[in-house]
Structure 1
Amino acid sequence: MKKLCFYINSDWYFNLHWKERALAAKESGYEVHVVCKFEDVMIMSEFTSLGIKAHNSKMSEQSLNPLVIVKDLINSFRIIRAINPDILHCITIKPCIIGGLYAKFFKKKLVMSFVGLGRVFSSPSKKYKIIKRLVSGFYRWLSTKPDIFMIFEHESDRADLISITGIRPEKTIVIDGAGINTDEFKYLPDPANNTPVVLFASRLIWSKGLADLVKAKNLLQNKGVDFELLVAGITVKNDPDAIPHSVIEQWSNSKAIYWLGQRDDIKDLIGKCNIVALPSVYAEGVPRILIEAAAVGRPSIAYNTGGCSSIVINNLTGFIANKDIIDLADKLECLIKNKELRESLGHNAHLRVKSHFCSKYVVEKTLGIYRHLVE
């Protein structure tokens, strides 16, 4: 039996975005392992009950301290070496670097998933520019490995990495997002809310754009245009970009937002809202919340960053706003005031998910890469 090892930072992220692919690989005959920082005992227990072998890396996700990085590298090497996988599938930047080194040294077949190029490639700060140069050089060195395959969530990231690394295009593929089970996320008509409802659901970091939404809400209220802004979020620890809880409380107390905390009923929340907004300003992949919103038939508003425009097609499935509070507010106002437009864009969004982001296609493409590497 071939061994497939996923190596990733966070348990919640794998559970949300990758569990379906891991189970499909298991059903296809692979012995599936997941190496990540398990903070939620329930997730680890669920993986074990499903026949997925879970290993706690205890890795520090954000630290750039060289000593911490070396410790994470040694510990991860030890765990992966004990598994001895036939294929190592690394997801997000730190696992790609550490796992890439392991695969290079021990001559293992390597899959690297780029779920957006992130702050390292988009931040203007001097620190991240230095890191970008180092990471780019590493990817260039790693791309010469014969048994490597790179997965991207949208075409612009693939073009950027091909330019940076020189990797042959045939060793890359674009797989649109994480995939959605359209039997679970079914189309629902636009709800008849007395006051229109806008949903923001994401990690609570500044670069996801929640502050812009709060400012846009204030602008519209001054014009007499009212809506409820529901916020469901995952709080982030030890991240300099994290929104402090005191700020969330301030917005909540002033009624700028309705703070819902971390939720596991996102599908129901989407069904009860009229619009989903994610004005993210950094280069991520295709945000799952935008795919889920489209599947349910909700128009979304996003900035033109990362893979957002892969699912939010301007004037077809939602609106792409300029990175400007006034334009964001104008596009919100347009959707808030026009129920027929919301319904039309939402219907188009649902059809796009069925044709491009259905989980069946995502799983089939991913398993096809594994078969290609082991044959």
Structure 2
Amino acid sequence: MKTVVITSNTSWYLYNFRKNTILALLKEGYRVVAVSPQDAYSQKLTELGAEYCHISIDQGGTNPIKDVASFFGFVSLYRRIRPNVVLNFTPKNNIYSTLAARFVGAKAINNIAGLGMVFINENLTAKLARLLYKISQPRAHTIFFQNDEDKALFAKHKLAPLDITDRVPGSGADLSRFAISESDDDGCIRFLLIARMLYDKGIGHYVEAARALRAKYGDKVEFRLLGFLDVNNPSAVSKAEMQSWVDEGIVNYLGTSDCVEDEIAKVDCMVLPSFYREGVPKSLLEACAMGKPIVTTDNVGCRETVDDGINGYLCEPRSTESLVDKLDLMINHTHEQRLAMGLKSRIKVENEFDEKIVINKYLSAVERALSE
């Protein structure tokens, strides 16, 4: 039996974003080993039928000693597991797990799900990250990009040979789980932002826009936030900041949820004013699948989810004024107009972002890696 390892910087990510990939690999008869830091979702991975191994990864940190320890942790694990193929997700895994896989003779298949701040900043950390990509990525068997701009950027900086690269439509959306769900027509327009609570995701602009539109429309509009708070990231929103916004009556913070579809179903529009280099945001794809119009930035990864004026609106990155304008347009549509835009979202995700497309790409890549 061939062994496929699947890695990420959280077990939460593997369970919530790659559950169906794991199930598809198991169905094909592979031994599947999930490698990620232990959290509340690690046990859920074993319940799917995968084996689980803990790895220590300093997700948002820049301590080189911890990163070297992660690399040797991968090497130690892979010597014991003896994988044939390793599927890597999230940045540090793409780097250190790829190098460790090469060390033990396994083939690495990487997913570049957005390049974050690596190509936005010119600080020492960003330059070091680019160097590590340049060292590690040519040693991968296949590199999947979620948008063409990231692929072009890799080519421009000569970070990996183009003949090992391919494109997938984000993480895709599970069209059976995320079905069309119409919001209530009760006179209140509800917006939702799902993401890690990072300023890079446009949280500050969303809050400022909410403040302006609540002042204009009062209780006729509501702004909700869902996602991890106070995470290990320089751009993180603190618990105190979030609580101050909630106390002010600007936003409602919903915490986290394993059933995001329940929250998406209740709202009229999904929003993500990110200026981070996204892959293709899964929250937007899932909202599209549920028939919701989208307001997001004309930014790498985000723009792929919106045909401007058809299933939503694109605003300028880092511009609260532009975001307010687009949200105002959505507020002034009738309920029926918003539903019609949402149906266009569903059609778009069916045609371009079905999760089955992504899973089949991975199964084919694993098969190729094993045959070479």
Q: TM-score, normalised by structure 1?
A: 0.93
- Which residue of the other structure, out of 343, 368, 371, is the alignment partner of 1:372? 368
> Whole-Å Cα distance in 2 between the matches of residues 87 and 277 of structure 1?
37
Matched AA of 1:85:
P
Residue in structure 2 matched with residue 336 of structure 1 by the alignment: 331
Residue in structure 1 matched with residue 277 of structure 2 by the alignment: 283
| Partner SS state of residue 188, structure 2 | coil
CA contact (8 A) 1:121 1:132 kept: yes
- Which residue of the other structure, out of 63, 71, 74, is the alignment partner of 2:72? 74
Q: In the alignment, does 2:210 pair up with 1:217?
A: yes
* Pairwise CA distance, 1:264: 2.5
* Pairwise CA distance, 1:341: 3.3
1:291-310 equivalent positions in 2, closer than 5 A: 291-310=285-304
Residue in structure 2 matched with residue 250 of structure 1 by the alignment: 244
Q: Per the alignment, do residues 302 and 214 of structure 1 end up closer, same or farther by CA in structure 2, a change over 3 Å counting?
A: same
Matched AA of 2:274:
S
| Partner SS state of residue 273, structure 1 | coil
CA contact (8 A) 1:33 1:53 kept: yes
1:1-375 equivalent positions in 2, closer than 5 A: 1-40=1-40, 43-122=41-120, 124=121, 126-127=122-123, 130-145=124-139, 148-165=141-158, 167-224=160-217, 226-323=220-317, 324-339=319-334, 340-375=336-371
> Whole-Å Cα distance in 2 between the matches of residues 341 and 170 of structure 1?
45
User: Where in structure 2 are there 5+ consecutive unaligned residues?
Assistant: none
Moved more, 17-26 or 157-166: 157-166
Matched AA of 2:354:
C
| Partner SS state of residue 119, structure 2 | helix
> Whole-Å Cα distance in 2 between the matches of residues 358 and 183 of structure 1?
10
> Whole-Å Cα distance in 1 between the matches of residues 148 and 23 of structure 2?
27
> Whole-Å Cα distance in 1 between the matches of residues 84 and 249 of structure 2?
53
Moved more, 81-90 or 44-53: 44-53
User: Where in structure 1 are there 5+ consecutive unaligned residues?
Assistant: none
Q: Per the alignment, do residues 224 and 166 of structure 1 end up closer, same or farther by CA in structure 2, a change over 3 Å counting?
A: closer
Matched AA of 1:55:
C
| Partner SS state of residue 55, structure 1 | strand
Q: Per the alignment, do residues 143 and 235 of structure 1 end up closer, same or farther by CA in structure 2, a change over 3 Å counting?
A: closer
> Whole-Å Cα distance in 2 between the matches of residues 237 and 230 of structure 1?
19
Moved more, 312-321 or 271-280: 312-321
The number of residue pairs the alignment matches comes to 368
- Once the two structures are superposed, residues 204-262 of structure 1 have per-residue CA deviations (whole angstroms, 9 ceiling, x without a partner) of 11111122111112222343464101112212433221101011111111110112111
> Whole-Å Cα distance in 2 between the matches of residues 236 and 101 of structure 1?
31
CA contact (8 A) 1:139 1:165 kept: no
Task: Give me the identity figure in percent.
Answer: 26
Q: Per the alignment, do residues 138 and 58 of structure 1 end up closer, same or farther by CA in structure 2, a change over 3 Å counting?
A: closer
- Once the two structures are superposed, residues 56-75 of structure 1 have per-residue CA deviations (whole angstroms, 9 ceiling, x without a partner) of 11322122112222222222
Matched AA of 2:21:
R
> Whole-Å Cα distance in 2 between the matches of residues 370 and 315 of structure 1?
39
> Whole-Å Cα distance in 1 between the matches of residues 210 and 132 of structure 2?
43
* Pairwise CA distance, 1:29: 1.3
CA contact (8 A) 1:295 1:353 kept: yes
Q: TM-score, normalised by structure 2?
A: 0.94
- Structure 1 segments (4+ residues) deviating >6 Å: none
> Whole-Å Cα distance in 2 between the matches of residues 236 and 272 of structure 1?
25
> Whole-Å Cα distance in 2 between the matches of residues 101 and 167 of structure 1?
14
